Structure 1
Amino acid sequence: MGGKVNKLLLPLDGKPVLTYVLQLMEISPLIKGWVLVVPPDQLNVFFHLAVEKRECKKLLKVVPGGVRRQDSVWAGLQELPGQTKVALIHDGARPLARTEDIAKVVEAARQWGAATLAVPAKDTIKEADAGDFVGQTLPREKIWLTQTPQAFSYQFLLEAYFWANKEGVMVTDDATLVEALGRKVKLVMGSYENIKITTPEDIIVAEALLKKRELTYMPRVGIGFDVHRLVVNRPLVLGGVIIPFDKGCEGHSDADVLLHAIIDALLGAAGAGDCGRHFPDTDYRYKDISSLILLKQTAQIIHNAGFSIENIDAVVVAQAPQLISYIPLMEENIALTLGIEKTLVNIKAKTTEGLGYCGRGEGIAAYATAFLHVRKQGCCFKGDEV
C-alpha cells in the first residue's frame, strides 16, 4: 500500500487486519489445524501476534514465505499433516471472509477436487492492446472475479506443486496452477464484501462493512441439550461439582451433562458447531477430562468469534439426587470459568414426576439457553473438518 508497515498489520477498526483472519481460522470447527506463512524478515512479529497475543490454539506453525506467492503456498503446504484431506488457501489480506465461505468452498472441493470463491463481474471488462487502446470487450456474463479461500484435494495440490516446481511454471493463484494441469476448478459464489486490502481506501470500506455487520448481528441465542446414562462406579459431576450419589453419568469425559448442554448453547449462539465437533469422544485428550476445562476453551472460542455472554439459563432434569443445595456452587463455577458475573448464570433442577428415562433413574438430562452479544465481527458456521 505504499507504506513501510505490512498491510496485514495495519489497524482495521482498532485491530490488525490479520487478526480477523486469525479469528476465522480459530472459530471454524471445520479447520483442525492451519499454517501461517509470513515474510521471513517479520517472522517474530507475526509469531507474537498469532501465538503470544492472540493465543491461536489451532495454529500448527508460523513459517517464512518465499519470493513468489506460490513459493509461500508451497512452504505452507509442506507443513500440513499427511492425513489432510482438503487444503484451504486463504489470503491474509481478505479479513472479511466468513466461515460459511469456508463451508461452501470446501464442500465444492470435496465434490469436484478443486474450488474457488468468486463473484460475477459487475463492470464491463476491456482487454487492452499494446498501445493501451481497447483490444476487445470481454463478455461480462462469463467473467468471474476470483477470491479466497480456495480449496483443493490436498494430494492433488501437492502433485500440482511438484509439477510446477519441476517445470518452472509460474502462476498468480492456486486455481490457475490446477487449471494448467487440465483440472476443472468449480466456481463458488462468494460475497462482494470479501474485499482484498490493497489500497488505503480499502481500509475505509472494510471498516464500514464491519460496522454494518455489528448492526446486523446483535443478539444471538443458542439452545443446548445433553443426556447421559447413569451407571455405578462413576462420580456424578454437575456444573463442576461432585454430587454425593450411588451412580454417576457415563461418558468419555467427566460426563458433566449440565456443562455439555451449556457448551452446546454457547457454540450454537455463536454459530460455531457443537460440543462433539470441538471435543469429540474419539479424542483421547478428552478422556476423563473436567468439563470445566472444555467450558473454558469454549469461552475462548466465543471470545475469538467476537461475542460476549449476556445470559445463561439451564435446567437439570433428574429424579434423584436433590440438587438444590449444590446449585449456587454450580453457578459460581460456571461464572468463574466463563469470566462473567454470577448473576448472568441461572441453574434450575427439575424432576419428571417419575416419567421417562429420567423419572426411572436411568439417566440425567440438561437443557440450556445462551444469549450472546456481538462485540465485533461475528462468524457463522456449518461444516466438518479440513
Structure 2
Amino acid sequence: MRLAVVIPAAGSSARMQAGMNKVFIEIAGKPILIHTLENIAKCEYVGTVFVVVGAQDVEPTKELLQKYQDTFPEIAWQVLAGGSERQYSVFSALKLLKPNITHVAVHDGARPFITKEIFSQCIAVAQVTNAAIVAVPCKDTIKRVQEQFVDSTLERNGLYAAQTPQVFTKELLLQAYEQAKKDGFLGTDDASLVERLGVRVAVVNGESRNFKITTPDDLIVAQAFMQEKSAQTICPVARVGQGYDVHALVPGRELILGGVKIPYEFGLAGHSDADVLLHAIKDAILGACALGDIGDHFPDTSEQYKDVSSLYLLKCVHKIISQAGYQVCNVDALVMAEQPKLAPYKQMMRANIAQALQIDIDFVNIKATTTEKLGFVGRREGMAAQAVATVLKK
C-alpha cells in the first residue's frame, strides 16, 4: 500500500472572523495545521502529504512546515495553491499523484484531533472496500427548513455526520473527480463524488472530538481540549500492578530476600535463587505495564536462569518496562514468614530494590509479618510475598 494524504486548507475562514486562514491560529502554542499534521504523522502508512492552501499562503505555509519539520520527520510534504472551492483544491493535488500511489486520504486541515487509531482504521477498511469515511451518528433532531419554516423532520436513526479522513483507492477517487468536473457537479465532501459513481462507501465510527474548527466557538472548545490533553501529559494517570509469590523452605539452600543473604537454617526452593520478595515485585511491575509475568520473560524451563540472581532479573525487568516507555513510581511489598526476623534486613532490601529500579529509596517500602503460626507459613513450610507497584508512562 502506498498512501498519499491531501490536506485541504485553502478556505476563506470567513466564519472564524480572524482576518487570517484559521489553520494558522495557534492553540496550545502551535498552529492548528501543525497539530493536524502531527497526529496524521503518527499513522504508519502516511508518507506523502499535500497541503493545499490559498495562493497567498503558499510561502508562509512552507516556512511553517520547515519550522516544525522535526515533529514529523518521516513525512514528505508538498505545499500547493488551491482553488476557490474545496473540490478544486483536492483535485489539484490528485493530479500530482505519482504512479506508485495506491490510496488517497483526504483530511481537513482544521481537524486537529484526529487519532492514529481512527485514521488507521479508516485506511484498513478502505483497503478492503475501496472507499471509507469517518462519521458520527447525529445526536440532534434534524429539520429540513425552507424560508425559515420547518418543511419536514428527518428520521434521525441512520443519519450520520461525515468527518474526515475519507480514504479511497487512487483510481476511484480520480474517476469520481473527473466525472464531477465533466458534469459540473460540486460536492461538499469527497464521498459525495464517489457515491455518484454508484460505489458504496463504508463508514468507520468517528469521535465527536474530531470536529472541524470553523467558528470562534469551535476555537474555544478546541483550546479546552488542548488544555485537557496538556494536563494529562503533565499529570499522567498512574497504572497499578500486583504480584504474589510462594516458595517452599528447604534445607541446603541460601535464604535470599530482597537481594540480601539472610542467615537461616533453611532457604527457598526454586529454579532461580527463589527470592520470593523480588518475584512478587517483578510481577507487580510487569502487571502494571500489562507486560505479562516473570514466567513469560524468564521461564523456569530455561537453563539460562538456573540459580540466577533475582536482583539481576529485577534490573532486567526495569530495562523491559523502560523500553516500553514506563517508569516505576513506587513499590510496596509484604513478606510473610514465621522465621527469621526480617526487621534488621529491610533497609538493605529497600536499597537494593531502589538501585535496581533507579528510583529513590523513599519510594520503596518493605513490610514483614507472621501468620500467627497458621497455614504453611505458620508451620514454616514456606514463605509468601505480596507486592503492589505503580508506574507512569514516560
User: 1:189 and 2:205 equivalent?
Assistant: yes
Residue 354 (structure 1) aligns with: none
Residue 36 (structure 1) aligns with: 51
| CA apart distance, 1:372 | 5.0
Instruction: Structure 1 unaligned segments of length 5 or more: list them.
Output: 224-261, 270-308, 312-343, 345-369, 374-386
Change (3 A) 1:107 1:264: farther
Within the candidate set 68, 87, 98, 2:115 is matched to 98
Residues 126 and 132 of structure 2 are in contact (CA less than 8 Å); yes or no, is this contact kept in structure 1? yes
Residue 60 (structure 2) aligns with: 45
Q: TM-score, normalised by structure 1?
A: 0.57
1:42-90 CA distance string (max 9 Å, x none): 1011111112443443133111111111111011222332222221000
In 2, Cα distance between the equivalents of 1:214 and 1:222? 24
Residue 363 (structure 1) aligns with: none
SS at match of 1:33: strand
Residues 25 and 32 of structure 2 are in contact (CA less than 8 Å); yes or no, is this contact kept in structure 1? yes
User: 1:89 and 2:106 equivalent?
Assistant: yes
Change (3 A) 1:219 1:173: same
Instruction: Structure 2 unaligned segments of length 5 or more: list them.
Output: 1-15, 239-288, 292-318, 329-357, 359-390
| CA apart distance, 1:371 | 7.2
Task: Report the residue type matching 1:38 in the other structure.
Answer: V
Residue 170 (structure 1) aligns with: 186
SS at match of 1:147: strand
Residue 354 (structure 2) aligns with: none
Tell me the percent identity: 33
Residue 136 (structure 1) aligns with: 152
| CA apart distance, 1:216 | 4.6
Within the candidate set 180, 201, 207, 2:217 is matched to 201
In 1, Cα distance between the equivalents of 2:46 and 2:131? 17
Residue 296 (structure 2) aligns with: none
In 2, Cα distance between the equivalents of 1:179 and 1:264? 48
Task: Report the residue type matching 1:71 in the other structure.
Answer: Y
Q: Which has the larger radius of gyration?
A: 2
Residue 212 (structure 1) aligns with: 228
Residues 116 and 188 of structure 1 are in contact (CA less than 8 Å); yes or no, is this contact kept in structure 2? yes
| CA apart distance, 1:263 | 12
Residue 125 (structure 1) aligns with: 142
Residues 21 and 95 of structure 1 are in contact (CA less than 8 Å); yes or no, is this contact kept in structure 2? yes
Report the count of equivalent residues: 239
Task: Report the residue type matching 1:90 in the other structure.
Answer: H
In 1, Cα distance between the equivalents of 2:48 and 2:223? 28
Change (3 A) 1:264 1:5: farther
Q: RMSD over aligned Cα, in angstroms?
A: 2.9
Change (3 A) 1:61 1:126: same
The structure showing larger relative contact order (alpha-carbon pairs under 8 Å, at least 6 residues apart) is 1
Residues 34 and 68 of structure 2 are in contact (CA less than 8 Å); yes or no, is this contact kept in structure 1? no
| CA apart distance, 1:10 | 0.7
Task: Report the residue type matching 2:43 in the other structure.
Answer: S
Residues 116 and 148 of structure 1 are in contact (CA less than 8 Å); yes or no, is this contact kept in structure 2? yes
In 2, Cα distance between the equivalents of 1:85 and 1:196? 27
Change (3 A) 1:263 1:127: farther
Q: TM-score, normalised by structure 2?
A: 0.55
SS at match of 1:156: helix
Change (3 A) 1:265 1:45: farther
Within the candidate set 82, 91, 94, 1:74 is matched to 91
